[in-house]
Amino acid sequence: MKFFDEARIEVLAGDGGNGAVSFRREKYIPLGGPDGGDGGKGASIWAVADRNLNTLIDFRYTRVFRGQKGENGHGSDRYGKGGQDMELRMPVGTVITDSTSSELIADLDTDGKRSLIAKGGNGGLGNLHFKSSTNRAPRQNTPGQEGEKRELKLELKVLADVGLLGLPNAGKSTFIRAVSAAKPKVADYPFTTLHPNLGVVRVDDNRSFVIADIPGLIEGAAEGAGLGHRFLKHLQRTGLLLHLVDISPFDPDADPAQDAKAILKELKKYDVALYKKPRWLLINKIDLVPEDEREARIAALLKSYKPKRHFVVSAISGEGCREVTFAIMDHLEQQRSHENKDC
């Protein structure tokens, strides 16, 4: 299935039913008085987070959603039937904003979360509400209220603890295959991921975390070059970024340090908060570098990049990957501990 992480829809909640104008008419009961009932409430539209969904593809082809109208009121004090509320099921991590005002409507960040996105109109009042000692035969009623109408933008931001960052062909997909059960496409030629992949990394029986691999970034991504900029939003919920750098690039003239710094520049242009997230450097494909050159290449990269923490790995052979996963788990547990204390 193709991955869709954005969609625009229109939601029209149901209008309320009109109140009725009616008078009681029974044999032997003259001047029975008003008995017009109220109109029914229009259907509201709700968004519900569903962990069984992972794409917004359903909203690419059906864009308009209309709630049922409330039934008009009836005589004999009978109220109209309300419209049945509509539920739109969306992937966990979907952010819903108003297309016109950019107002945040809902953030479906947990499974089962239910948010009102368009409220149905209230039903109108029947004439039985208008009777009084001076107005015994009221002919007033009120119409039902209109339901809310909104144009909404849906944006899926995957829920992951760790995000992978790097140029196309840095080895991100190979790394996620090495440490999790995810099986993204990899190849022995320059190739880039076309959509995000999620993998669950199980450190032991009771400890695990979710890692996200997004399409590689290229210089100019913040201005729209390449695919990667479209998916940077999927890193905004992560607690840690892993920046993979290919220490043995295809192009012999390429400078891994300069390429890595260019990616950081694009990250900062896109979102300063994302740039400030904890970020570790993973020096990948060390198996392709002759042993007598490794120390010098790593030293040159570290001198230019100056990361807070770095690891040397080979995603294809698995060398160093286990140590990285244990370090990530410890880091995430410390983060969660600090968050719980703050709460």
Tell me, yes or no, if the two domains 6-156 and 162-342 fold the same way: no
Are the C-beta atoms of 162 and 240 separated by less than 8 Å?
A: yes
Residues in the chain with pLDDT values less than 50: 1-2, 187-193, 218, 221-222, 225-228
- Reported as a single tens digit per residue, the pLDDT across 267-286 is 888 788 888 999 999 999 99
Residue 32 — φ and ψ, nearest 5°?
-65, -20
316 token code pair: 């294809």
Which pLDDT belongs to residue 171?
A: 84
Give the torsion sign (CA, 290, 292, 295, 300).
Answer: negative
Q: Using the structure block, give the residue that is written with the tokens 């230019």.
A: 304
Largest Cα–Cα distance of the chain, in whole Å? 111
Q: How many Cα atoms within 13 Å fall on the side-chain side of residue 295?
A: 2
Cα distance between residue 56 and residue 7, in whole Å: 7
Phi/psi at 124 (nearest 5 deg)? -75, 165
Rounded Cα–Cα distance for residues 152 and 13 (Å)? 13
Owner of token pair 């009120």: 142
In the chain, where are the structural domains located? 6-156, 162-342
Whole-angstrom distance, CA of residue 236 vs CA of residue 288: 32
- pTM > 0.85: no
Domain 6-156 has CATH 3.30.70.270: no
Looking at residue 205, its pLDDT comes to 79
Q: Which CATH superfamily is domain 162-342 in?
A: P-loop containing nucleotide triphosphate hydrolases (3.40.50.300)
